[in-house]
Every structure is written in C-alpha cells, then in structure tokens.
A and B are shown apart, each in its own frame.
Chain A
C-alpha cells in the first residue's frame, strides 16, 4: 500500500514518531550544527533535553575522528543521498562523559525553506559488537584447540559434506583444506577400504548414529597408514546439524597387535606340536611297554621251562654249584617277570584300561594261596602267620587282591631279616573287609612316607634290595579302583604295618 507523505508533514504525527522512536534521530544542518535531536538520542549520548541543539554534530564523535567527519559531512551535503554511513567501516560515537561506543548509522536528507538538512539515525550496537566478538573469540579458541590437537578433527554438515578439518589433518595428508572439504576427504582412502568406509559412513549418517571405522589413509609421504575414524552426530538446540569426528593413526598399534597375535599363534602352534610329540612319545612308550612285556614273556618262559627241565634231567646227587646257579636263573627270571608285570599293569592303569572283576573268594583259603605264592622269596627262618575273623566268603576282585597282598607280603619279606615274623590278619565285618600286613622290618623314614605311592620312588634305606618302585603305586591304584583305601604306620628300625580297607560288596 502506498504511504501518504502528507502524514509525515503533519507536525503532530511527525512529533510522535520523532519523540517515541527507539532509535536515536539527529537532524543536522549544512553547517554541521544539530537542529533537532530526539529523546532517545539525548539519553544515548547522555545529554539533557535540548542541550545539544545548536552544537556541532562533531561533539558526538570521538576527538581523533572529528576532522575526518567534518570532511565527510561536507561531501555528503554536496551529494546527499539516503544511505548507511561508513559502509564496511566500524563507526564509533562519543557520549557526553567521553565514553566511546560502536554505532550503526544511516543517513537521510531533506530541504526546508531552502536549507539543506541531514537526518542521522543512530543505533548503539555495543551488544552486537560484543556478541560478534565473543563468537569470533570462541571460534578462534576452537580452531586453536582443534589445530593443536594431536588427533585429526573434522566437521560435517547434515548433508554429509565436510565443512571443516583441522590443521593436524592437513599436515597428515599434506593437502590444502579446499581438497579435503565436501567429499574430498575420501580421496585419500585406500581403494580396498573405500567402499566399506562409505557404506559405514552413509549408513551411520542416515540413521544418525555414532560410528567407528578403521581404514588406510594416504599420508603426506604417500604411505597408506591405518587410522581409526570416530564420528558422532551433533545437535544445536535439539536440531541436527551434522557430525563431528576425530581420527587417530593406529598403524603402529595395529601392527604391534597383529605382530603379537602372530606371535601368540606361532607359540600356540609350537605348543600343539610339542603336545602332539608328547602324545606320540606316550603312545610309543605304551606300545613299547606292551610289546616288551609280551615279547619278553616268550623267551622268559623258555628260559624258565628249560631251567626246570635241566633240573629234572640232572642226576639226584649232582653238583651243588649247578643247583645254586639253577636257583639263581629261576629267581632272576621271576624278578624280571614281576618287573614286566608291574610295567604292564601300570601302563594299563594309566590308560584307564583296568576294570574291577568280582570273584567269589574264601578268605582263609585265598590267604593260604597268597602265602604259598611268596614261599620261594622267603628268607631263612621267616614265618608268615595268618589269622582271620568274621565271614569267610566275600565278593572281591581276586586278581587285584592277590597282587596287593603278594606285593605287601613280598615287601615285608624283603625288608625284614632272617627269622622275622610277619603277620597277616583279615577281618570281615558288616560293611568292610580289613586286611593288615605287619612286619618288624627296617621301616620307612618319616620324611619319605608321603612319597611311598609315587611312581618309581624308593626310600633311602632300601639299600641294595631290588625293586622298581612301582609295587605300592599299583597297590594304591588297585585299592582306589576297588573303592577302598590303603594306609600304613611305620617307624624306622621298628617295623611297618599296612592296612587295607575295602568295602564289602553284597552278593547278588
């Protein structure tokens, strides 16, 4: 709608506009004196009402700028024109108390009764200037921080295009900022990583989710190095503005990690190989033990049977020395057989191939047989007493019990002197079968008692008495298999008592 100029020329209307305007209005004549000044201007510049009327406009201008202003003013009156003042320049005004402050000024002009008059509209822009300065400071602060950061920083708009990268980034890639902004940052990504990176980047942006991606980036020296890029969406007043992200060079770290992984892999493989070798050795050992015990048996049987035949074919009153040597051959073969049997038994136990087989046995008879078995190893005058209490018939693994008792009895015989007495007592009660073998032999040293069931262990005081150190190991394992326990009480020089406790198994 067209404005009516009439209304402004109307004195009353103009007055209201002039008096109530929140912008400072000054009317200056060609001589540079103030003709009119509105209350807003008086307040702004700190003058009393009407105090400024007739004074040169330059009183409102900082001293050092006054002469220049006089010059500009004269120019303006020659070519008056409505325009903002001092375009592109920072303008300052002066209050009555001498305070200088920034202003924005626009100029207008008119003629009244042949006199040229200029109108200046002045607004105090102190706050805007301060705010602008603050923003500039903030920005400088951020840039300073970003540029001095050891990590590469980037900022993108909501359109996925980068709007900023810091100096650290530029120093790393050796490129100028113009090449990196927009989508330029992706130029340096290794061809093999590019598709994957763009997929992660685009998907994260579309979902506005944080992302982490690792890829190779070309450094200024041309080397492609692994970097990790972490991006997060940014919001200002809950309005999504884009992303901010940072990248760090993880090349050395990654290499160290992969070297470590490689080392771990290598070591693990070595370990597996060692384990395989160990397994192989064990299998070989097992095969050897079982082969040896079987293959050794045949020649041993032949030696033993041939010795028996030599003995039979000899004359009744043959040389005592021949008798002695025949006895030696027989006892050596018996020793060797025992050792082989122990090796085989232990090997079977260790392979978990041993099972309990129950037999119905009559204890007193069984004991007699066992004592009979050890008859040949007994020393001069040694005596084995048997006593039994409770039920006679029990269900037990005969072979294992025989082994256990023969072994304990042989030990008592071996480690006792001539004429020694050995007592085997058995007791069958409601739940258990208790068997003990007691001797007055050399005894087991206190400090070695805990090792007695260890494989190949032999006490120091066994001297030159023969043995493999496997007997008690097997005894213990057999007793364990049968669900019982074995213990002993022993004192050096006094003797040893072994106690076996086996659970009684109800006959079916």
Chain B
C-alpha cells in the first residue's frame, strides 16, 4: 500500500482529500503546515507528497526546496518521491484526476 502525505492548512480540504484517497486505497498521513509536513516526510517516508502552495510560514515552494536539499544530503527520506502541488495551480478536480492516474 502506497503512503501519501498531505500537507494542507485548510482542515476541510485536508480531510476530504484524505478521505477520497483512503477510499481509493491509499494510506494517508496528514500535516497541517509545512513545518509539520517536513518532519512527517522524514519520519514516515511517504511515496507521494501532496502539498498546498499558499500556506502561512513555510509555503509549498519552501517545502519542496527543503525536501530536495534533504535528499541530496542523504537524509532518511524516500529515495524517490512524487511531489504534487495542490489547489493554486490546476483545478482541484483535474489534479485529483491526474494524481489517480499516476498509479
């Protein structure tokens, strides 16, 4: 079972996304902000990280930068993971559609 980490500050979006993914058979971990998200990524080594871009404090771009640096230094992160940005870019429906097609 693949593990997905959702980093999203809006509770409803986070929960709904998690529910849809769980129904589709994924194991889901939630993080309510970028900082928690980074910790979780290190601890749980998800296969996929689904991350919001516009977030207070640590935003989506900073999260991906940190993650890339961490993989570079050989930290205990997934060797290969897919990173999808949520909300601000494509429509939500399209994104989920694309996401589900990855597998």
Contacts and interface: CB of A to CB of B under 8 A. Distances in A.
Contacts of A301: 13, 16, 87, 92
A297 B86 CA distance: 11
Contact of A305 (B54, B92, B94): B92
Interface in B1-19: 10, 12-13, 16-17, 19
A507 B87 CA distance: 32
Nearest to A313: B23
A436 to B, nearest CB: 25
Nearest to B12: A302
Contacts of A302: 10, 12-13, 16
B102 interface: no
A36 interface: no
Contacts of A373: 94
B13 A337 contact: no
A297 B87 contact: yes
Interface in B70-103: 87-88, 91-94, 96
Interface residues on B, range: 10 to 19
Interface residues of A, number: 16
Contact of A298 (B10, B19, B93): B10
B36 interface: no
Given A294-B54, A312-B23, A305 B91 contact: no
A375 to B, nearest CB: 11
Interface in A288-341: 294, 297-298, 300-302, 304-306, 308-309, 312, 334, 337, 341
A308 B19 CA distance: 10
Nearest to A312: B23
Contacts of B92: 297, 300-301, 304-305
Given A301-B87, A334-B93, A309 B19 contact: yes
A352 B91 CA distance: 23
A304 B93 CA distance: 8
Contacts of B87: 297-298, 301
B69 interface: no
Contacts of B16: 301-302, 305-306, 309
B47 to A, nearest CB: 21
Interface in A119-152: none
Interface string B52-70: 0010000000000000000
Contacts of A298: 10, 13, 87
A361 to B, nearest CB: 15
Given A298-B87, A341-B91, A305 B20 contact: yes
A301 B86 CA distance: 11
A305 B13 contact: yes
Contacts of B10: 298, 302
B19 to A, nearest CB: 6
A312 B20 CA distance: 9
Contacts of A312: 20, 23
A291 to B, nearest CB: 12
A93 to B, nearest CB: 123
Nearest to A297: B87
Contacts of A305: 13, 16-17, 19-20, 92, 96
The 4 closest A-B pairs by CB, nearest first: A305-B16, A301-B92, A302-B12, A337-B91
13 contacts: A294-B88, A297-B87, A298-B10, A298-B87, A300-B92, A301-B92, A302-B13, A305-B16, A305-B20, A306-B12, A309-B16, A309-B23, A373-B94
Interface of B: 10, 12-13, 16-17, 19-20, 23, 54, 87-88, 91-94, 96
Given A297-B88, A298-B13, A306-B12, 9 more contacts: A297-B92, A301-B87, A302-B13, A304-B92, A304-B93, A305-B19, A309-B16, A309-B20, A341-B91
